[in-house]
Amino acid sequence: MRSGVRVGIDVGTVRIGIARSDRDGLMATPVETVDRTSGNAVEQIVQIVHELEALEVVVGLPLSLSGKSTASTEDALFVAREIAGAVDVPVRLVDERLTTVSAHSALRASGKKEKQTRSVIDQVAAVMILQHALDSERSSGNLPGKDISEFPAQS
């Protein structure tokens, strides 16, 4: 397992959840939720990546249940490309099917009401995305997901 902090990203249409790992890559924890409508969300993410001296950025790739691309997939790829163009660390994409649904379920099970969870749901989803990537790398010895370069921009 590589040593170094990873940053996990859950891209939503309104908010972007951010998580981080410890230096040993064992556990993901929430960092913050960035308001995507502010116009400077990517800059805020880049600042966090730099502050944490991250080894890599892991972005959730929302696919349909059948594994096909959706509008959300293209949106996450757009944000991942923006981040990749502004940082000097690898950006990897991992399948995040049902992550937000799982995050909602986890928060409901903890007794939180829907209104109370809006500000943290994206962070919880980012934690789940990053934890999955960490667990995958630890169990397989392979880098998680796919590098952003495997997803060329469509013209």
When computed from its CA atoms, the radius of gyration of the chain, rounded to whole angstroms, is 14
Cα–Cα distances in angstroms (integers) from residue 43 to residues 4, 18, 82, 105, in the given order: 22, 13, 9, 31
pTM of the full structure:
0.87
- The tens-digit pLDDT sequence of the chain (155 residues) is 899 999 999 999 999 999 999 999 999 999 999 999 989 999 999 999 999 999 999 999 998 777 788 888 999 999 999 999 999 999 999 988 655 555 556 656 666 665 555 667 788 889 999 999 999 999 999 999 999 999 988 75
Q: Which two tokens stand for residue 101?
A: 């649904």
Domains belonging to the chain, first-starting first, are 6-146 (3.30.420.140)
Amino acid identity for residue 94 in this structure = V
